[in-house]
Amino acid sequence: MAVIILFFTTPVYAADLYFFARAEDILVDDVFVVEARLSSPDELINVVDGSILFDKEKLEVKELSTGGSVLNLWAQGPTFSNSAGTISFVGGTPNGFQGEELILKTIFRAKNIGEVKIFLSDDFALFLSDGKGTRLSPQARQLTLNIRARPAQVSPRDEWKGFIEEDITTPEFIEAIISKDQSVFDGKYFVSFFATDKDSGIAYYEIKEGERDFVQAMSPYVLEDQTLAGGVQIKVVDAAGNEQITEAVIYVPATPFYKNIVFWAIAFLIIALIVYGWRAIWGRQKTKG
């Protein structure tokens, strides 16, 4: 199982990343969904890192959804910039994945008429779960769409709103555990939590310590009450507003360390730093070239 990623391997091509849109006839002001999907029939993928580019003059991102994504741990959660025309993320899965899987859903609004393309950045990378962190540069298929003018009598369509209205399924917690490690957070207690949502996707988490109010939080979260006297509750809310609450429990290592979320939470902090280092190296190499 790969955790540490090495960056001086020769890129190979063994996976195909492509985009899929259900909407066929797109008019100005329509809101529609584009899925980024990865096909890797032969290789076990551990981490996906890079950016998706789009025409900022003709499209704008309304929001991003990880609902149904095979990536379930994020060193850098999906973010977007409409001014730059970019969507960026670093995500992975502990056991790796193989086959054809959903990576990310992007909810776009059509701004202006004309042909638009959605494609990958040059530095988009995959890393294998092979014990060496072999880097792959995926074969990329861009998506070309044509946006037409809206007739005066036709109202805008919102594909995402319809999807949200149909989502009545609550997110599901995988784990919510309290732990501490002398190597991180100065040895303080922290809580790691992880939930999945196959429909609209996780919108946010909230945490409640004892009698305090719920506050939004990201995992891992350093606890304010280091006595653990009042208990810790975690709430997860999806994009449709469905929610689930669970009680965090103190971590007892009943399973091998590499199968537990505490290990992967710490590992992904390390992966984030390594990936950013790789980006710096890659950038210098491109500058020299």
Domain boundaries, the chain: 16-166, 172-252
* Cα 66 to Cα 171: distance, rounded to the nearest angstrom: 12
Mean pLDDT taken over the chain:
83
Residue range 115-142: mean pLDDT, rounded: 86
Mean pLDDT, rounded, for 45-59: 93
Give per-residue pLDDT as tens, 68-80: 999 877 878 899 9
**Geometric angle at alpha carbon 43, from 122 and 6, rounded to 5°:** 60
HEC sequence for 214-257: CEEECCCEECCCCCCCCCEEEEEEECCCCEEEEECEECCCCCCH
User: What's the pLDDT at 123?
Assistant: 86
Which range (82-91, 92-101, 161-170, 219-228) has the least confidence? 92-101
Q: Which CATH architecture has domain 16-166?
A: Sandwich (2.60)
Domains 16-166 and 172-252 share a fold: yes
Mean pLDDT of 42-46: 87
More confident: 260 or 90: 90
For residue 220, say if its preceding peptide bond is cis, omega within 30 degrees of 0.
yes
Instruction: Find tokens 């784990």 and name the residue.
Output: 175
User: With bands split at pLDDT 50, 70 and 90, how would you rate the model's confidence at 164?
Assistant: very high
What pLDDT band is residue 105 in, cutting at 50, 70 and 90?
very high
- Taking only the tens place, the pLDDT of each residue in 188-227 is 999 988 888 988 889 999 999 999 999 999 888 999 999 9
Candidate CATH numbers 3.40.1350, 1.20.81, 2.60.120, 2.60.40; the one for domain 172-252: 2.60.40
Give residue 204's pLDDT.
Answer: 92
Q: What pLDDT, on the 0 to 100 scale, is given for residue 3?
A: 40
DSSP conformation letters of the chain: ---S----SPPB---EEEEEES--SEETT-EEEEEEEEEEEEEEEEEEEEEEEE-TTTEEEEEEE-TT-S--EEEEEEEEETTTTEEEEEEEEEEEEEEEEEEEEEEEEE-SSEEEEEEE-TT-EEEESSSS--EE--EEE-EEEEEEPPPTT-PPPBHHHHHHHH--PPPEEEEEEEE--TTSGGG--EEEEEEE-SSS-EEEEEEEETTSPPEEE-SSEE-S-TT--S-EEEEEEETTS-EEEEE-EE----S-GGGSHHHHHHHHHHHHHHHHHHHHHHHHHHHH-
On the question of pLDDT at 271 being above 90, the answer is: no
pLDDT (average), residues 151-167: 92
Per-residue model confidence (pLDDT) at position 60: 97
* Structure confidence at residue 280 as a pLDDT band (50, 70, 90): very low
pLDDT > 50? residue 183: yes
- In this structure, which amino acid lies at residue 283? G
Residue 286 above 90 pLDDT?
Answer: no
